Amino acid sequence: MRWIRRLSAETGETAEVVGGKAHGLVALHRLGLPVPAGFVVTAEACREYLRDGCLPDGLEDELRRAMSDLETATGRDFGGVRRPLAVSVRSGASVSMPGMMDTILNLGLTAESTAALAAETGDERFALSSRERFLAGFAAAIGDGRPIPDDAARQLALAVRTVFSSWDAPRAQTYRELHGIPHHLGTAVIVQAMVFGNRDDRSGTGVAFSRDPNTGANVPFGEVLFGRQGEEVVSGGSRTRPLRELADREPAVWAALLDALSRIEGHYRDACYVEFTFEAGVLWLLQARPGRFDGAAAVRLATDLVDERVIGRGEALLRVSPQHLRHVRTPRIVAGEADVLARGLGACPGVATGRVATTSDSAVRMAADGPVVLVRPETSPHDLRGLAAAAGIVTARGGPASHAAVVARAMGKPAVVGVADLVVDAGSVSAGGRTIGAGTLVTIDGTGGEVVLGDPGTVTPAADAHLRRLLGWADDVSGDHNGRTESERLGAAHAVLRGASGRRE
Amino acid sequence: MTHLATDLLVLHTLRCIGFAGTARIAATAGLSEADAESELIDLAVTGLVTHQAGEFGGWGLTASGRAADAERITGELEAAAARPALTAAFDGFLVLNPELLDLCTAWQLRSVDGVVVANDHSDQSYDDRVLDRFTDFHRRAVVVLDEISAALPRFGRYRFRLADALQRATCGASEYLTDDIASYHAVWAELHEDLLATLGIPR
């Protein structure tokens, strides 16, 4: 086939051809890990589509053949009335553009197939909610109110065109301009048999790092959402639980996940990140990539990998960017003893301690008597004076580009956003099953995204033992033991190491 | 904001920008400070707004002020039979909104060696690139802004204020992208709030 490659251990294509996501899936196949059967439509097909405005000659035929192979592999029937096959259709460019392009889940659930799925599982509610999710998600991705065909093959062709087109969405174009990504690359499209995280109460979905990305400690870290489907964890819209809860609720899934994380680490010789779904107690991996830690976590990871004899000192030095060290003098919460109430995304670095205020009015009132942390579901222009009065900001919703995040950075105030399980009431705040009243003292860390009770004190990563060790190696490499900033010491070592291996910066 | 009675204009400005001082209310509404203050005092007498002293003090809506604004601004929308057109234009706004937030974030943060760090504005070519994208964004935003003000002419002031913020930023006052109280981001957020308030959509 010209435009399509089956995803398997034998797929011998580069990330340029099949995209980064598919490349990672091939690696998982080679490691013998559970990956839903599927295939990838190459980025070249996308380039043809974007140039000509229609799918390239032969692609629709190839899609039919690839689907027929997928039916054979899964023993299911796409658009069928017995054992129906549903698929996910996801973008996967050769460069990472998180959240910029479309994903369509549960495709192939026509009216008839949905009835068949209900009959097969004996769970009509599950089948109907899966179809609803498909229709709503697909309609949002298409965007122009066109009707969704009730024919599985036509749905698939439309979904491939929709994902191709999303490469050229204005927001995606802007993202590429800002990040220096060429516009001509296009995206591959990955089609895989659906695994249903919403199947029953022994199903769910999650994301996991093999090590804690906040500290670098060698402890798996992540979030899990029971009884739900993939996109809801990544988008942070639903109530996620700490990854560790898997161990109690689904020990077999947990054990399989630990085994997978360890094998993927071995493959990348680095910490790793995976997205996974489990259906009826069986684990499936949907994506894997290296962990991409930063700051103190990157330093801890690099030195630990040296101790574990995974990499040498030179490589450890090169894995930490001098940029990572520019903020090592930014205070962080003392991690050990802190009573963590909730975790979100750090949106503006720094630590703030103050009493919880749940409205801008009360923040202004309370700020007269000492520092305040403003905790809101999200912020709007109405919160500007509360933001101005507060020492730090926490929001339940929104990501690093939310109103609260942009304003907090403009004001230089520590901020934590996207605390998924945070509920803000008039006089109290709840998270992780605990409720605290307005006026309670909390401390927030705008680097790691922690919200902790009381005042645990702060520490600067510059004093961290792992960093001192790494910088000691750096000075040995550069031969320069004079006092300089952390970033300069590492940069000098990089210059020597890059020079020695003939590489250029 | 043309075509609104001055008292409603001031009331609705407060509804969209939240608590603020007289100068900012006047600048947002396009009134002189004296006119704005006179209206604010009248509104305070009728119990629709309230004034607080202190460091973060200023004018704010009371609960009845908020209710009165909702009723009158809905009346304006229905009288102009503008709900369908404004709703359609709001859909266009929602497509642009995440991109604008991406741009603001790109101005404040950048990815270096795969690490997101604060943009220290030492790389002129990066900043120029972001500013170029703001300009390109604004060209496309104007199409939607025109649809919005075609539905309700008072929204025309947002186009003027956004263009003004971008113009200042282009001329070197880069705080008018994300940092100033009259920045592109701040005006955009007020427009968002106004659209929600006018259409009666809860946040």
Q: How many helices (H) and strands (E) does chain B have?
A: 9, 4
A103: phi then psi, degrees, rounded to nearest 5: -130, 135
Instruction: Tell whether B66 is covered by a domain.
Output: yes
Would you call A381 and B137 a contact, using CB atoms and an 8 Å cutoff?
Answer: no
pLDDT for the residue A83: 96
Gap between the Cα atoms of A420 and A317, Å rounded:
35
pLDDT at A2: 92
* A155 min Cα distance to partner chain B (Å): 24
| Closest among A237, A238, A233, A235 to A222, alpha carbons compared | A233
Which ranges in chain A are annotated with CATH 3.50.30.10? 332-459
Strand partners, A345: A417
**Confidence tier at A504 by pLDDT (50, 70, 90):** very low
- The verdict on residue B159 lying in a domain is yes
How many helices (H) and strands (E) are present in chain A, helices listed first?
18, 25
Are residues B67 and B85 both part of a single domain?
no
Contact B137 A174 (CB under 8 A): yes
Are B89 and B18 found together in one domain? no
Q: How close A325 comes to chain B (CA, Å)?
A: 10
> Above 70 in pLDDT, residue B76?
yes
Structure tokens at B46: 């009728």
| Percent share of chain B, pLDDT over 90 | 88
Residue B158 included in any domain: yes
Nearest CB to A179 within list B111, B115, B183: B111
Q: Give the CATH number for residue B36.
A: 1.10.10.10
Over range B63-68, report the average pLDDT. Answer: 96
What is the C-alpha to C-alpha distance for residues B189 and B195, in angstroms, rounded to an integer? Answer: 10
Please check whether residues B177 and B105 belong to one and the same domain. yes
**Taking a contact as any Cβ pair under 8 Å apart, which residues of chain B between 45 and 64 contact chain A?**
52, 54-56, 58
Residues forming CATH 3.30.470.20 domain(s) in chain A: 204-290
Task: Tell me the shortest Cα–Cα distance from B100 to chain A, in angstroms.
Answer: 9
What percent helix, strand, coil does chain B show, rounded to 5? 70, 10, 20
Domain boundary among B46, B77, B108: B77
Considering the four listed CATH numbers 3.90.550.10, 3.20.20.450, 3.30.420.40, 3.30.470.20, the one that applies to the domain covering A204-290 is 3.30.470.20
pLDDT in tens, B20-56: 999 999 999 999 999 999 999 999 999 999 998 888 8
**Interface contact flag, B54 A368, Cβ < 8 Å:** yes
Shortest Cα–Cα distance, A313 to chain B (Å): 20
Q: Is residue B1 part of a domain?
A: no
CA distances (Å), A183 to each of A18, A175, A176, in order? 17, 10, 7
Using CB atoms, pick whichever of A178, A367, A405 lies closest to residue B106. A178
**How confident is the model at residue A192, as a pLDDT?**
98
For helices B83-108 and A403-411, what crossing angle results, to 10°?
A: 40
Q: Do B113 and A385 touch (CB under 8 A)?
A: no
Interchain pair A323, B117: CB under 8 A: yes
Distance CA A380, CA B18 (A): 9
B172 exposed, middle or buried (CB, 10 Å; 0-12, 13-18, 19+)?
A: exposed
| Residue B102 in contact with partner chain A when CB distance is under 8 A | yes
Residue A4: which region, alpha, beta or left (left: phi > 0; alpha: psi -120 to 50)?
Answer: beta
Work out the pLDDT band at B1, boundaries 50, 70, 90: very low
Contacts of A175 in chain B (CB under 8 A): 102
Task: Please state the rounded mean pLDDT for residues A341-360.
Answer: 94
B101 interface with A at CB cutoff 8 Å: yes
Based on the domain organization, do B56 and B101 belong to the same domain?
no
- pLDDT (0 to 100) of residue A505: 41
Please indicate, yes or no, whether residues B61 and B87 belong to a single structural domain of this protein. no
> By C-alpha distance, which of A201, A200, A222 is closest to A210?
A222
pLDDT at B147 over 60: yes
Is the minimum CB–CB distance between B165 and chain A shorter than 8 Å?
Answer: no
CA angle B14/B18/B20 to nearest 5° reads 80
pLDDT-wise least confident of A1-10, A318-327, B11-20: A318-327
A321 with B18: Cβ contact below 8 A: no
> Which residue among B17, B58, B133 places its CB closest to the CB of A177?
B133
- Type of residue numbered B13: T
Q: Out of B27, B45, B77, pick the residue that ends a domain.
A: B77
Average pLDDT over residues A73-92: 96
The DSSP call for residue A241 is E
Q: Is B95 exposed, middle or buried (0-12, 13-18, 19+ CB in 10 A)?
A: middle
Residues B37 and B89 in one domain: no
Rounded Cα–Cα distance for residues A255 and A257 (Å): 5
Residue B116 lies in a domain: yes
Least CA distance to B109: which residue of chain A? A409
- ipTM reported for the complex surpasses 0.90: no
* Exposure b/e, A14-48, CB count within 10 A at least 16 = b: ebbbbbbbbbbbbbbbebebebbbbbbbbbbbbbb
Q: What are phi and psi of A4, to 5 degrees?
A: -125, 140
Structure confidence by residue, pLDDT tens digits, A110-124: 999 999 999 999 999
Count interface pairs A-B at CB distance under 8 A.
113
Q: Residue B114: inside a domain, yes or no?
A: yes
Q: Cβ separation of A175 and B102 shorter than 8 Å? A: yes
- Biggest alpha carbon–alpha carbon distance for chain B: 59
CATH 3.30.1490.20 domain residues, chain A: 4-193
Residues with Cβ within 8 Å of A140's Cβ and at least 6 positions away in sequence, in order, are none
Please check whether residue B128 touches A, CB under 8 A.
Answer: no
pLDDT at B169 over 70: yes
CA distance B190 to chain A (A): 6
Within-domain flag for B96: yes
Contact with chain A for residue B98, Cβ under 8 A: yes
Cβ-based neighbour number of residue B42 at 10 Å: 14
Beta strands across the sheet bearing A272-279: A241-242, A221-226, A204-209, A272-279, A282-290
Could you tell me the residue range of the domain that residue B37 belongs to? Answer: 6-77
Q: Does residue B93 sit in the same domain as residue B175?
A: yes
Identify which of B19, B101, B130 has the shortest CB distance to residue A406: B101
Given an 8 Å threshold on Cβ–Cβ distance, is B115 in contact with A406? no
Q: Is the dihedral of CA A140, A144, A146, A149 positive or negative?
A: negative
Q: How many domains does chain B have?
A: 2
Residue B192 counted as domain residue: yes
Closest CA to B44 of B62, B30, B26: B62
Domain spanning A4-193, CATH architecture: 2-Layer Sandwich (3.30)
What's the topology of domain A332-459?
A: Glucose Oxidase; domain 1 (3.50.30)
| pLDDT tops 80 at residue A233 | no
Among residues B77, B98, B122, which one ends one of the domains? B77
B113 and B88 inside one domain: yes
Residues of chain B above pLDDT 70, percent: 98
Measure CB to CB from residue A380 to each of B98, B99, B193 and give the nearest one.
B193
Q: Where are the beta strands (DSSP E) in A243-360?
A: 272-279, 282-290, 332-333, 339-343, 345-348, 351-357
